[in-house]
Amino acid sequence: MSSKTNMSDEAAVPKKGDVIDHTWRPLFKQPLPAGRPRSWYIQHNRRLKAMRLAIALLDSGAFSADVATNDKIRETAETVGVHWPSDATCRMVRRMMQAQR
């Protein structure tokens, strides 16, 4: 048998209008679009990190942005295995948590 996984065993990136019936499987990672300014890539990665941290905080029971101090967010980042977030990322996490209400 081959050591490569079968393409049908992994979740593909859904197209617009497709129903996602396999949420428990990770989607394929796609390369970021080329030709954007560096600041776009930095902001994009910061948004992804903030989203991961906001989800982890909400899952841990911190439902209010007031509870999410920089220290709490950084503890969560260490637990989840995400690099230490900057102050700007911590502010973004709190804004995302406020928006979910």
Q: What is the DSSP string of 12-41?
A: PPPPTT-----TTSPBPP-PPPTT--HHHH
Note the residue count of the chain.
101
> What does the pLDDT look like over 27-41, one tens digit per residue?
677 888 899 999 999
Q: How far is CA 51 from CA 18, 56, 59, 60, in A?
A: 23, 9, 12, 14
- Residue 24 sits at the vertex; the CA angle it makes with 43 and 86, to the nearest 5 degrees, is 25
pTM given for the model: 0.68
Q: Could you give the CA distance from residue 78 to residue 59 in angstroms, rounded to a whole number?
A: 15
pLDDT in tens, 72-88: 999 999 988 889 999 99
